[in-house]
Amino acid sequence: MLDIRFVRENPDAVKENIKKKFQDEKLPLVDECIAIDAELRKVQTEADDLRAKRNKISKEIGALMAKGMKEEAEAAKAEVVKDGDLLDQLSARQNELSEQLTQKMMVIPQMIDPSVPIGKDDSENVEVQRFGEPVCPEFEVPYHTDIMESFDGIDMDAAGRVAGNGFYYLMGDIARLHEAVIAYARDFMIGRGFTYCIPPFMIRSKVVTGVMSFAEMDAMMYKIEGEDLYLIGTSEHSMIGKFIDQTIEEEKLPITMTSYSPCFRKEKGAHGIEERGVYRIHQFEKQEMIVVCEPEESMKWYDVLWKNTVDFFRTLDIPVRQLECCSGDLADLKVKSCDVEAWSPRQKKYFEVGSCSNLGDAQARRLKIRIKSKEKGNHLAHTLNNTCVAPPRMLIAFLENNLQADGSVRIPAALRPYMGGQEVLVPKYNSIEAAAKSQK
């Protein structure tokens, strides 16, 4: 959410930013917010003047009574009562206008960084750089669920009977691989100096609206019926929420945290063939990272965060690339964002496995996260987040890139301590048998 003073003083810049995000339907909001703000400030001035007048008269009443001027004192009391009624009306109007302004301001997108490429949607995102050489093996790489089936490692039919579409059972070596990746990611991030955290897996509505836009909230969040609680879609939400209404001493910054959590998402919309299996699901687990820092340091931390993900995937011998998100693909609270995409030998293309975002002061303004500084005074923090790894989607990239011609899966050296020292996973069935098994 932007500062209303910035909107008031820079309406053309705010409108241009909206145009860059191809959200022209929001353009009227700028003038509407400025008009509401003007009325709000007028009502605030009237209320302040009335309070000052009432306080002055209240002091005069005592003096009038001391002089025996009872009629004058009673008249003054009546005026105080009258002013009190008017003040109640002004206060009610002030609250009404303030609520209107907040609701509209929360829909106006954050100002994007000048470096963000302009584009309508994710089809216009820009590849920045690649890490590792993409390899297409001479043998055919099966669909990821068929690879998992060859290890008797997944049962989506049973999950469908228990919970419906978008859920899964992972078993045996595949389940162990899943947990090994999470454990390795935890230690990897701790090794990078981040404080490990297991956060709440449910958050209140004031935190939800503080960390994301209304559109994201509707598309992602599951609400707990009868409670002011939502299941988290990512642990970043509850980690940032930890600092709601807090003023942080500047000496304690930057705050760098990494967390494990399950994640729950509605995942609305059509699902293509490559989003079957465990690519787009309602429940998954993730190792996340967040930073709370001084505004001038947020771009530096942005680069640190996405590089952490690249380094993590490269230790598992998975080629990746950094993809800069264009203006139309940025969520409304984001200043700048990029995706880390992993190479899929089967599809012969990259697919998203993580997202890094600099949100500037957007979340801090909504959640009232401030920094206490002797030199600069109290000011809003900047917040950032990034995915280290999110299996089981990440398992798709892992299995495809470490699959061998005989159907076995190589375990990279970095992961072997978390897999009991195993160097290779041996399948129980071949890929043809697995594919037939999955179709039964």
Give the dihedral of Cα atoms 309, 220, 291, 376; nearest 10 deg: 150
Going by their DSSP bridges, the two strands 320-324 and 126-131 should be labelled as antiparallel
- Looking at residue 270, its pLDDT comes to 43
Q: What is the DSSP string of 162-189?
A: HH-TT--EE-HHHHHHHHHHHHHHHHHH
pLDDT at 90: 87
Confidence at residue 66, expressed as pLDDT on a 0 to 100 scale: 64
Does the pTM surpass 0.85? The reply is yes
CA nearest neighbour of 331 among 295, 306, 312, 356: 356
Return d(Cα 79, Cα 125) in angstroms, integer: 65
- What pLDDT score does 439 carry? 55
Element (H, E) at 210: helix 205-211
Among left, alpha and beta (phi > 0; psi -120 to 50; other), residue 277 is: left
**Rounded CA gap, 199 and 389, in Å?**
17
Question: What is the crossing angle of helices 393-402 and 172-191, to 10°?
Answer: 100
Domain 122-438 in CATH 1.20.1250.20? The answer is no
Distance CA 97, CA 90 (A): 10
The answer to whether 104 and 30 are in contact (CB under 8 A) is no
* Residues counted in the chain: 440
Q: What is the pLDDT of residue 273?
A: 45
State the pairing for strand pair 349-358/230-231. unpaired
* Domain 4-105: assigned CATH number: 1.10.287.40
- List Cβ neighbours of 342 (8 Å cut-off, separation of 6 or more): 313, 318, 319, 320, 350, 351, 353, 394, 396, 397, 401
> If residue 293 lies in a helix (H) or strand (E), which one and from where to where?
strand 283-293
Q: Compute CA distances 345 → 135, 137, 271, whole Å.
A: 6, 7, 21
Among candidates 119, 132, 137, which has minimal Cα distance to 321?
132
Q: Which two tokens stand for residue 430?
A: 């071949």
d(CA 16, CA 186): 41
HSE-up of 301 (CA within 13 Å, CB side)? 26
Q: Where are the domains of the chain?
A: 4-105, 122-438
Instruction: For the chain of 440 residues, list the mean pLDDT of each consecutive stretch of 10.
Output: 95 98 97 97 89 73 69 71 80 94 96 98 97 95 95 94 93 97 98 97 95 84 94 95 97 97 79 67 95 98 98 97 97 97 97 97 97 95 97 94 96 97 93 56
